[in-house]
Amino acid sequence: MQDIRDAILADDTAAVAGLKVPESYRGITVHADEADMFEGMASNEKDPRKSLHLDDVPTPEVAPGEALVAVMASAINYNTVWTSIFEPVSTFSFLKRYGKISPLAKRHDLPYHVVGSDLAGVVIKTGEGVHTWKPGDKVVAHCLSVELEAPDGHDDTMMDPEQRIWGFETNFGGLAELALVKTNQLMPKPDHLTWEEAASPGLVNSTAYRQLVSANGANMTQGDVVLIWGASGGLGSYATQFALNGGATPVCVVSSPEKAEIARKMGAELIIDRSAEGYKFWSDPETQDPREWKRFGQKIRELTGGDDPDIVFEHPGRETFGASVYVAKRGGTIVTCASTSGFMHQYDNRYLWMNLKRIIGSHFANYKEAYLANRLVAQGAIHPTVSRVYSLEQTGEAANDVHHNSHQGKVGVLGLAPEEGLGVTNTEKRAQHLDAINRFRGV
Ligand SMILES: NC(=O)c1ccc[n+]([C@@H]2O[C@H](COP(=O)([O-])OP(=O)(O)OC[C@H]3O[C@@H](n4cnc5c(N)ncnc54)[C@H](OP(=O)(O)O)[C@@H]3O)[C@@H](O)[C@H]2O)c1
């Protein structure tokens, strides 16, 4: 492993091709025999630091169409929080189901799950039939794993009935020294970014792109007013940038003055601090308060000069969904990709049908959407939102920060990179964007 690291650090990536693939590597795992460890506890008491382990695991065989990547850096996504607290279900149920489809998929069904759905690194080995990528290539990986044997996914790969999220519904994820991916997950690493910066946009950037920009999602256009929940968080920080980059007006919802400051730094002008405003959309756990939806809607109109949102970018779920449906403009779109606060949503359907609004479900992104989202990062039009970087050993702590919403933007994790700040090969482009790249640092 040290030889691989040394070759990459010396930027002698061609040499990587001649190196022996190690028989084992270190990765962040959850253990199948611990899936009940938090039983009976409230979600916020379940501690990822107890369930995430750093283990030495055997290197998997590389099958046709796959690549083994030396991971220089990865990032925390909320799906690793879900895996680590075994909610809403243990991810071993996904691995078991996947393992049943073929002998090669069976490799994923193990008593440990190496997690993580982002990476930046260098290809060290490719499987048979791979000709677009080769050992030594500097890459990032998106997390869409598809089989594409059914007709359903051939217009839009997200429609493949065998669609899975790598490192969440498959094994050998990115929070590790090595990772196994299908080569149709690979994309060029943006050359002006460090390993940890390049690794961090992947999952959330692609998701926000499909959800907000793509015709498969809300199909945002110039002049749209876009209400963005959690605007300084993982998804929201990219949605805010896409809105601004695409000529829309984001209305950013955050929960503290520090988070409001980050939204302002990204260029947003219309910001709502939901804590300061004290919205209470639920008067008790079963009953919502439409007067609070109205008060929220009035605040949005006050900021926009009277406009309601053309698009509501939803992911908090149960706590906010009633308000989101209420405040969307007549004919507007509520586009949702998650339910962080609870998946049994409740809203007043009269506001939806009488005002011809639409609810769209969105999930990750197809290869093309992920590629286009990454290309915007490579072009310097969209920037990473890394606030803090942890070592592989500290992954539990990093996931705990995200679990408790005490982070900003994205939290990076180093793999083989011994320190932050490495991997940049285009210093000129970097210099042009340095302030934007560092917006989330030290807040
Ligand atoms: N379907 C997909 O493909 C996909 C992809 C990525 C993520 N997700 C899911 O999307 C969710 C968010 O992911 P993320 O990476 O953006 O997480 P994140 O970094 O934790 O950001 C979420 C933000 O949402 C806001 N928020 C949290 N709870 C809220 C509540 N009850 N009411 C209002 N706002 C709330 C918080 O902002 P403030 O406190 O500042 O308001 C927080 O910063 C997670 O559930 C994740 O699993 C789904």
Q: What is the pLDDT of residue 304?
A: 98
Residues 158 and 141: their CA atoms lie apart, in Å, by: 16
Where does the pLDDT of residue 101 fall: very low under 50, low under 70, confident under 90, or very high at 90 and above? very high
Q: What is the pLDDT of residue 17?
A: 85
Q: Residue for token digits 């210099």?
A: 431
| Ligand 1 atom nearest residue 407's Cα | 19
Q: What is the pLDDT of residue 19?
A: 92
In sequence order, the 6+-apart residues with CB closer than 8 A to the CB of 302 are none
Residues 169 and 98: their CA atoms lie apart, in Å, by: 8
Q: What is the pLDDT of residue 443?
A: 78
From ligand 1's centre to the CA of 340, what distance in Å? 6
Atom 37, ligand 1: residue with shortest CA distance: 230
- Give the residue-averaged pLDDT of 11-15: 86
Q: What is the pLDDT of residue 14?
A: 81
**SS3 string of the chain?**
CHHHHHHHHCCCHHHHCCCCCCCEEEEEEEEHHHCCCCCCCCHHHCCHHHHCEEEEEECCCCCCCEEEEEEEEEECCHHHHHHHCCCCCCCHHHHHHHHCCCCCHHHHCCCEEECCCCEEEEEEEECCCCCCCCCCCEEEECCEECCCCCHHHCCCHHHCCCCEECCCCCCCCCCECEEEEEHHHEEECCCCCCHHHHHCCHHHHHHHHHHHHCCCCCCCCCCCEEEECCCCCHHHHHHHHHHHHCCCEEEEEECCHHHHHHHHHHCCCEEEEHHHHCCCCEEECCEECHHHHHHHHHHHHHHHCCCCCCEEEECCCHHHHHHHHHHCCCCCEEEECCCCCCCCCCCCHHHHHHCCCEEEECCCCCHHHHHHHHHHHHCCCCCCCEEEEECHHHHHHHHHHHHCCCCCCEEEEECCCCCCCCCCCCHHHHHHHHHHHCCCCCC
- Give the residue-averaged pLDDT of 176-180: 98
Using a 6 Å cutoff on CB, does residue 340 contact ligand 1? yes
pLDDT tens for each residue of 427-436: 999 999 999 9
- Give the residue-averaged pLDDT of 6-12: 94
In sequence order, the 6+-apart residues with CB closer than 8 A to the CB of 350 are none
- Percentage of residues in the chain with pLDDT exceeding 70? 100
Using a 6 Å cutoff on CB, does residue 272 contact ligand 1? no
**Buried/exposed code over 400-423 (b: 16+ C-beta within 10 A; e: otherwise):** bbbbeeebbbbbbbbbbbeebebb
Q: Residue for token digits 């009976």?
A: 40
Mean pLDDT, the chain, rounded, equals: 97
Where does the pLDDT of residue 442 fall: very low under 50, low under 70, confident under 90, or very high at 90 and above? confident
Q: Are 101 and 436 in contact, with CB atoms under 8 Å apart?
A: no
Q: What is the pLDDT of residue 177?
A: 98
Other C-beta atoms closer than 10 Å to the C-beta of 304 total 15
The yes-or-no verdict on residue 437 having pLDDT over 90 is yes
Using a 6 Å cutoff on CB, does residue 79 contact ligand 1? yes
- Give the residue-averaged pLDDT of 99-124: 97
Report if pTM > 0.75: yes
Residue type, 337: C
What is the C-alpha R_g of the chain?
21
Question: Higher model confidence: residue 17 or residue 150?
Answer: 150
The yes-or-no verdict on residue 116 having pLDDT over 90 is yes
Counting ligand 1 atoms within 8 A of each CB, the residue from 252, 315, 385, 406 with the most, and so the one to mutate, is 315
Q: What is the pLDDT of residue 222?
A: 98
Using a 6 Å cutoff on CB, does residue 46 contact ligand 1? no
From ligand 1's centre to the CA of 364, what distance in Å? 14
The yes-or-no verdict on residue 18 having pLDDT over 90 is no
From ligand 1's centre to the CA of 2, what distance in Å? 37
From ligand 1's centre to the CA of 231, what distance in Å? 9
pLDDT tens for each residue of 316-355: 999 999 999 999 999 999 999 999 999 999 999 999 999 9
pLDDT tens for each residue of 42-89: 999 999 999 999 999 999 999 999 999 999 999 999 999 999 999 999
The yes-or-no verdict on residue 13 having pLDDT over 90 is no
The yes-or-no verdict on residue 99 having pLDDT over 90 is yes
Residue 196, sorted as left (phi over 0), alpha (psi -120 to 50) or beta, turns out to be: alpha
Using a 6 Å cutoff on CB, does residue 254 contact ligand 1? yes
pLDDT tens for each residue of 298-313: 999 999 999 999 999 9
Q: What is the pLDDT of residue 254?
A: 97
Helix or strand (DSSP H, E) at 73: strand 66-75
Where does the pLDDT of residue 256 fall: very low under 50, low under 70, confident under 90, or very high at 90 and above? very high
